Amino acid sequence: MTSIQHRIGGVPVGGSIAAPVHDPATGRRRGEVVLGREAEVDLAVGAAARAFESWREVSLTRRTRVMFALRDLLERHEDELARLVTAEHGKVLDDARGEVVRGREVVEFACGIPQALKGEYSDQVSSGVDAFSFRQPLGVCAGIVPFNFPVMVPLWMHPIAIACGNAFVLKPSERVPSASNLIAELYAEAGLPDGVFNVLHGDGETADALIRHPDVAAVSFVGSTPVARRVHGTASAEGKRVQALGGAKNHAVVLPDADLDVAADQITAAAYGSAGQRCMAISVAVAVGDAADPLIDRLAGRARAIRVGPGTDPATGMGPLISAAARDRVAGHVLAAEEAGAKIVVDGRDLPGPGFFVGPCLLDGVTTGMPAYEEEIFGPVLIVLRAGTLGEAIALVNANPYGNGTAIFTSSGEAARRFQRAVHVGMIGVNVPVPVPMAFYSFGGWKASLFGDTHVHGPEGVRFYTRAKAVTSRWPEPSRPSEAPGMAFPTAR
């Protein structure tokens, strides 16, 4: 059985407390991971703080070269990383490869960091006076990440932070710890000095100690909304910079003028891919007008055709859930909706064990007051709601407390434009069900899906991991005596 250790200052570090790590496809324990407590948190932040002092002085060119080398190593180790993700998370291998590729794209953005960090310069803002601005790193940045993207979500954070000159302490999810240790090895092989990137394993207690550590300057968090809200509060109260991304309830609005076969294909993939364990999963389809019945027929046929099984089997379309508790929670939501009067069109409960499997579920007749609609289920459950008009559908999307992603399926440019302007949601797809922005844009939701001011990666990531200085300078000519300053507030001459 594997024992997964921290990686601090370039070396493995053990611990006395550990948690089990499971293979969700078999339900069996595949190893254990150490859980950091105050001593290990201190060790990791101390290693990062020491490494920061020299890393901040390393030239942009050399920092960029590390990113280019990491990018190539991530490509070479794509399969190994994907297999680790599938082994601990359960998602199918192709899906795991997809997250490695999307994460690598952030490293590709970080390869261009000299361009993103360029400051501004104004010549002669007053006689003999120039003004310019530039950005500097913050220090030790912490990343606390969820189980559902063991490679991609951490890669949203640390390449940008490190390319900007910071040191980083990553606290992976205790349920999927292994991929982060491989990433640490790849950073070392890419030439990153020890201590600039550290992996501190642990649970909520570890994360809390990390957030509160006085030498941590900034916190990036991705996870469920209740924890995101708390992390944002704790870090803000300690005067730290924080971005805390939370959960989601993403609606796909389908207008009667949409190609319903295409819409059903796309929504099926977005609802049941990764067993619905994506923050950008579509969990609610809003059928407008006449679209409802033909859409439900198509969705039901496609949901029943999905092959559920281990993620390592190439014939599998959908893998297991992360844990037995997640399986039971999802089944509980479907039962509660059924008891409250919803119609279970496709029922994925009662799949044989021993893994943590629930098959695709499709629910009709759910109302907005039911917990199945109000709560994030984070499983393979798609709910269909009906709306009379596009206006009603937009009102439904906007009344929901979450605002991560949404999509519209239509053949009308006018309707799509109206939708994209009116919804209170951070990421919008037009005939695209999972509108995850490319690495050179920034990722983030609105309302209860993000606490803080900046989205992750792309230009907003660069702003989050740096702070600005503005310099006003005068170099008087020695031959010309400079004018004595007046007592009035200085204005340009």
Q: 181-184 contacts: CB < 8 A, separation 24 or more?
A: 181/4, 181/5, 181/7, 182/77, 182/80, 182/81, 182/84, 183/81, 183/151, 183/154, 183/155, 184/7
Nearer to ligand NAD, 142 or 363 (CB): 142
Least distance in angstroms from the C-beta of 221 to ligand NAD: 7
Our finding on whether 146 is near ligand NAD (CB under 6 A) is yes
Q: Decide if residue 86 touches ligand NAD (CB under 6 A).
A: no
265: burial class by Cβ within 10 Å (0-12, 13-18, 19+)? middle
Q: Which residues have C-beta within 8 Å of that of residue 350, sequence separation ≥ 6? A: none
Q: CA dist 347 to 213, 234, 334, 364, Å?
A: 47, 41, 9, 12
* Among 63, 89, 171, 240, contact with ligand NAD (rule: CB under 6 A): 171
Binding flag, residue 144, ligand NAD (CB under 6 A): yes
Which residue, 55 or 465, is less far from ligand NAD as judged by CB? 465
For ligand NAD, which stretch binds (CB under 6 A), given 8-16, 86-94, 170-178, 250-258? 170-178
Maximum distance among all Cα pairs of the chain, rounded to whole angstroms: 90
Q: How far is the CB of 25 from ligand NAD (least distance, A)?
A: 18
By CB under 6 A, residue 98 contacts ligand NAD = no
Binders of ligand NAD among residues 195 to 254 (CB under 6 A) are 203-204, 207-208, 222-224, 227, 230-231, 245-248
When asked if residue 425 is in the footprint of ligand NAD (CB under 6 A), the reply is no
Nearer to ligand NAD, 278 or 386 (CB): 278
Q: Which residues, numbered 447-486, are part of the site for ligand NAD (CB under 6 A)?
A: 449
> Closest distance between ligand NAD and the C-beta of residue 276, in Å?
10
Q: Say how far apart CA 486 and CA 247 lie, in whole Å.
A: 57
For position 178 contacting ligand NAD by CB under 6 A, the verdict is no
- According to DSSP, the β-strands at 381-387 and 361-364 are parallel
Active-site amino acid positions: 279
Give the count of residues interacting with ligand NAD (CB under 6 A): 30
Q: Tokens 């996870």: give the residue.
A: 223
- Could you say whether residue 174 binds ligand NAD (CB under 6 A)? yes
**Which of 223, 458 has the CB closer to ligand NAD?**
223
Binding mask 275-314 for ligand NAD (x = CB under 6 A): ----x-----------------------------------
The correct pick among 13, 106, 140, 145 for binding ligand NAD (CB under 6 A) is 145
How far apart are the C-alpha atoms of 93 and 173, rounded to whole Å?
Answer: 19
Closest distance between ligand NAD and the C-beta of residue 145, in Å?
Answer: 6
Could you tell me the smallest distance in angstroms from the CB atom of residue 15 to ligand NAD?
15
Nearest distance, CB of residue 72 and ligand NAD, angstroms: 27
The DSSP result for 446-466, as a single string, is EETTEESS--BSHHHHHHHTE
Q: Which pair of structure tokens corresponds to residue 74?
A: 């991530």
Nearest one of 188, 164, 183 to 55, comparing CA atoms:
164
One of 36, 90, 154, 445 touching ligand NAD (CB under 6 A): 445
- Binding flag, residue 410, ligand NAD (CB under 6 A): no
Backbone phi and psi for residue 21, each to the nearest 5 degrees, phi listed first: -120, 130
Residues ≥6 apart with Cβ < 8 Å to 101 = 78
**172 prior amide bond cis, ω within 30:** no
By CB under 6 A, name the one of 5, 220, 404, 466 that touches ligand NAD: 404
Decide: is 323 part of the binding site for ligand NAD (CB under 6 A).
no
The neighbour count for residue 94, using CB atoms within 10 Å, is 14
Q: How far is the CB of 188 from ligand NAD (least distance, A)?
A: 23
Beta-carbon contacts of 95 under 8 Å, excluding residues fewer than 6 positions away, are: 273, 274, 311
Query: Which residues pair with residue 20 across a beta bridge?
Result: 32
Q: Fill in the DSSP letter of residue 175.
A: T
Residue 46: CB atoms within 10 A of its CB come to 17
Q: How far is the CB of 56 from ligand NAD (least distance, A)?
A: 27
Which spans of this chain sit near ligand NAD (rule: CB under 6 A)?
A: 144-149, 153, 171, 173-174, 203-204, 207-208, 222-224, 227, 230-231, 245-248, 279, 376, 378, 404, 445, 449
